[in-house]
Structure 1
Amino acid sequence: MSRRAAAALGDGWHVGVVAAVAEETGVLLNVLGVGQGRRFHTGRMAVPSGVTYLVVTPDGTASFDVLVRRYAPAVVVFVGGGGDVAITHEPRGPVRDAVGAFFTAAGEPAPLPGFGGAPSFHVMRGVPGPPPFAPARAPRAWAVVRGDTANAAQALRYLIPYLRSRL
């Protein structure tokens, strides 16, 4: 049985997360509740539509290529990078629909509580555009959650239930 099938028990890895700043991978793991691994960090999150299987990796072409090849997540999300928190996504498909549902439910800009008692912040919608990687290595679907790593990870944490129901 392949690693993907063994770990995800059925419908595979749902969300692959790439830290925009490799040194802040620990922040992502903490906010998403994913345990520490060697190179790839795996975990799961219970959401209303079922369990979401997550795999997190630091930034880098090699990490991204292995993530897509080994785990084949349904969606890859790049998280962090500073600035205001904004969600950018593919022009069409399940991620666009999930982002639309998220903003319909939360408002736009969406006010979210900070993680672990940090101040609240707002999340805006970014303009859909080309993928942030070479098309030859494209995952099935993608999004970018730009912003302070902790706030961006918190925004992803709130977005995941909308993603999961569409994968």
Structure 2
Amino acid sequence: MKRVYVSAVIDAPVAATWAVLRDFNALPRYNANLFSTSHIEDGLPSDQIGCIRNFRTKDGTGHIREQLLTLSDREHVCAYCILEATLPVRNYVSEMRLKEVTETNQTFGEWWATFEVDPKDEPEVMRAVTDTFRFAFQGAEAIARSGG
């Protein structure tokens, strides 16, 4: 199993950051440089455990379906798995967690994933997953800071 881990100090309060990242369908909103469209299948709410997010990459070549496994507003945690993807991974499970930095009113964010990947695809997949998490934190920070 491979593991990608990204952490960040986000210059926005945890409540504002969580308000952006808790929406399982908002990936293109806070990560617009990588993803273009997303919808929750079967018209389910985007915070319902078991709902499926179906989205596409901005370049039009990637398609991913992910299922929400955990969402906790109290603990600021979200976990999901990939059901199918053009990304060449297997057994992909990811978790994102936010914690309040009380002294500075900032947010500490952690996002990680474990998965299997063929050695030939490993460098590209590791970079893609790392970039996804890094850009998501940057986008969430910009939205949270703007009050949006």
Give the TM-score normalised by structure 1.
Answer: 0.28
Q: Which has the higher helix share?
A: 1
| Higher strand fraction (1 or 2) | 2
**TM-score of the aligned structures, taking structure 2 as reference length:** 0.30
